[in-house]
Amino acid sequence: MGFFSLRKDKTEVPEKKEPPEPIPERREPAAPPAQPQVQVQQTPQKPAAPPVQQRPATGPAPVQRPQVQVQQPRPPEQQIRTQPVQRPAAPAPAEPVREPVRSAAAAPRTEPANVVPAETVSKGAEPRGKVTEPPRPAEADGPTEEVGKIYGNVGTSSFNCRVIAHVERAEYVMVEHADYGNVLCQIGSLIRKTDLSLEKSATVTKDTKIDEMISATVDVIGYRDEKGLLQSPRTTFHAGASVRRASGALIQKVLGLRASAKVGAYIGLLHGHDIPVALDINSLLQKHVCILAKSGGGKSYISGDIVEELMKHNVTCMIIDPHGEYGAMRDKGNSGDARFGVVTRGYGDHIIEFSISKEVKDAKPLRFTLRSLEAREILELTRTNDVKTFLPSLRKAIDLLREKQDVYSVRELIDVLMNDGDGKNSVLIAELEYLEEVGLFATRGNPISELIVLGKTTIINLKGVPPDIQELVVRRLSTLLFEMRKIDKIPPLLLILEEAHNYCPQQGSALSSKALSTIASEGRKFGLGLMVISQRPAKIDKNVLSQCGTQIILKLTNPNDLKAVAASVEGLTNGMTDEVQTMPIGMAMIVGAGIEAPLLVDVRPRESRHGGSGVKVLREDDD
């Protein structure tokens, strides 16, 4: 390892006991009492010794540098770079001698990062070399703790670091680059290397000395250029460069964490820091969102945080709620961790709830009419696949009803088919009777002005509704919202879809698949955003998942789900993929909505009551 061999060379040289090698002297009788100055281009074998004050040629013997008897002094004709330089009689304190970087591909630098001790870098010093961006806020924070040194082969996207202080996986660090200043990086993985072998481990005692060191793989995130764009270094760091803890100002600048009360949705704090993380609400509506986690991973909890923020900003929403969880947001929640600064409250004045079932408290009945549906659309709502057989009969029945009346019910349509006397209609009649029994269709349905109200959140409670009817409802509503937004009949809104893998599956088909795929691909043009929430990312239609520009990922362990996430999230490193499997409940990985690199976020407590808590079979206070 190159870094350790360099340090070894430096420490071995002073151990030689031979008399010091005299520096080639040019003692001339008329020369003033000045010591010849040796420029930086000295032979690499001569160590960087602390500077000493020069003494006149006469008097006590001058302090000489340690001698390395590896090569003979060069003949006078080769000493072309050594020139006598006049110095004042009382020289100012000199800086430590720094070795030059011996590289044929790069120009010599007077302060290479692989030799200069961190203590010699002055506070607030300007970056060396070509500066491509203005002074960074991180430098205003003052120097941060050094946590390691770069060693081995160094790339532009990652490098290895010997750890000399306590660091954790996914922690942010920074390295000063000669061309770009401070560059933000992140600890990817840690490994402790020891000299303890399998054989020696059998005889280990408390007095056994074990030599060990910690190595880290560090992923490079980047820096902000003069235009404020996130860039990655195009040249490598120097081996031996100091790796330091990243300052809060640099983290905020590079990651784009700009908390805005007007357009920001506060969802938590950056893990390991007290830096607020807010999502850009405009991006949520324009680029779609996906929230992915295993069952019990906190999907509904963090989606509730986002809905609370949207209600604060009077953003219009519709929530497809198959489990009846979101109605609890009317109530005030429990107090959480004080460091998040969350004040509990209820949102009853922002919520409108609809349900097919009459048993749901505080919910209005959800009803559709058949008036706007054509014969083919009605057949799509049934479970029959024989469209060619039933389409002529159903079309004839609808035409007969429309000649007599503007609106009609499912029962009236069934009566017309039964009076037709065609025995082939028996299967179709059975399907229509099933729709009538559900009670979804009526003579008078809900107008769009009742379902969508500016600045309100509409909850469609589908708890207890059969899966095929849920698909029918989602298909009808998503189609209605898309068509109404195209002609600007409703305000811009966000459609939130819980258990999305049931409504737009990757394999098989659902009645709602086509409508949701259309919203995912075209909805942003018309101000219709989509938020899909699922515990099985691998089962969601890839055409829908790939359109989500903001990804919120909580704990996942299924290998297929991990592959689906890795394929859909940009900028996800191997270290971050490993982090997804081990994240505790209450932590989320977020990218998008104004956040350009994956972040680990401690999710804030809910302001309102969470309705998705698990049911406890036994309680501790039970006798």
**Which residue bears the tokens 């008399």?**
19
Sketch the domain layout of the chain as residue ranges: 118-197+210-255, 264-366+446-603, 375-438
CATH number of 264-366+446-603: 3.40.50.300
pLDDT in tens, 112-135: 333 333 333 333 333 333 332 333
Of the ranges 112-116, 242-246, 540-544, 599-603, the best mean pLDDT one:
242-246
As a three-state string, the secondary structure of 514-550 is: HHHHHHHHHHHHHCEEEEEEECCHHHECHHHHCCCCE
- CA-CA distances (angstroms) from residue 335 to 111, 303, 338, 342, 343? 54, 18, 8, 8, 7
- CA-CA distances (angstroms) from residue 45 to 110, 158, 215, 324? 18, 31, 28, 76
Angle at 148 between CA 145 and CA 152, to 5 degrees: 155
The DSSP annotation for 129-179 comes to S---SPPPHHHHT----EEEEEESS--SSEEEEEE-S---TT-EEEEEETT
Cβ atoms of residues 353 and 456 within 8 Å: no
Residue 259, pLDDT above cutoff 50: yes
Strand order in the sheet with 264-270: 276-280, 264-270, 595-603, 587-592, 550-553, 289-292, 528-534, 493-497, 316-321, 457-461, 351-355, 364-365
Cβ atoms of residues 107 and 127 within 8 Å: no
pLDDT in tens, 63-95: 444 444 444 444 444 443 334 434 444 444 444
Comparing C-alpha atoms, which of 613, 351, 382 is closest to residue 456?
Answer: 351
**Is 224 exposed, middle or buried, given 0-12, 13-18 or 19+ CB atoms closer than 10 A?**
buried
Residue 2, pLDDT above cutoff 80: no
Comparing C-alpha atoms, which of 146, 179, 176 is closest to residue 250?
Answer: 176
> Six-digit token pair at 397?
């029945």
Give the pLDDT band of residue 16 (cuts 50, 70, 90).
very low
**How far is Cα 506 from Cα 426, in angstroms, rounded to an integer?**
33
pLDDT in tens, 562-617: 888 877 776 666 667 777 888 888 999 988 777 777 889 999 999 999 987 766 66
Give CA torsion, residues 371, 373, 374, 378, to 10 deg. -120
Cβ atoms of residues 480 and 518 within 8 Å: no
Tell me how crowded residue 190 is: count the other CB atoms within 10 A of its CB: 16
**How far is Cα 79 from Cα 24, in angstroms, rounded to an integer?**
8
pLDDT of 112 reads 35
Residue 29, pLDDT above cutoff 60: no
**How far is Cα 147 from Cα 316, in angstroms, rounded to an integer?**
47
Cβ atoms of residues 125 and 138 within 8 Å: no
- For the chain, what is the total number of helices (H) and then of strands (E)? 15, 19
pLDDT of 297 reads 86
Helices (H), 386-522: 387-404, 410-420, 426-438, 448-451, 467-486, 513-522
Residue 545, pLDDT above cutoff 50: yes
Cβ atoms of residues 139 and 129 within 8 Å: no
> Six-digit token pair at 598?
């994956």
Give the pLDDT band of residue 35 (cuts 50, 70, 90).
very low
**How far is Cα 515 from Cα 259, in angstroms, rounded to an integer?**
35
pLDDT of 378 reads 84
User: Cβ contacts of residue 90 below 8 Å, gap of 6+?
Assistant: none
User: What's at 328, amino acid-wise?
Assistant: A
Q: Does domain 118-197+210-255 have CATH number 2.30.30?
A: no
**Which residue bears the tokens 């040019």?**
26
**How far is Cα 448 from Cα 451, in angstroms, rounded to an integer?**
5
Tell me how crowded residue 437 is: count the other CB atoms within 10 A of its CB: 9
pLDDT of 130 reads 34
Give how far the C-alpha of residue 138 lies from the chain's centroid of Cα atoms, to the nearest Å.
21
Whether pTM exceeds 0.95: no
Question: Do the strands 172-177 and 276-280 form a parallel or antiparallel pair, or are they unpaired?
Answer: unpaired
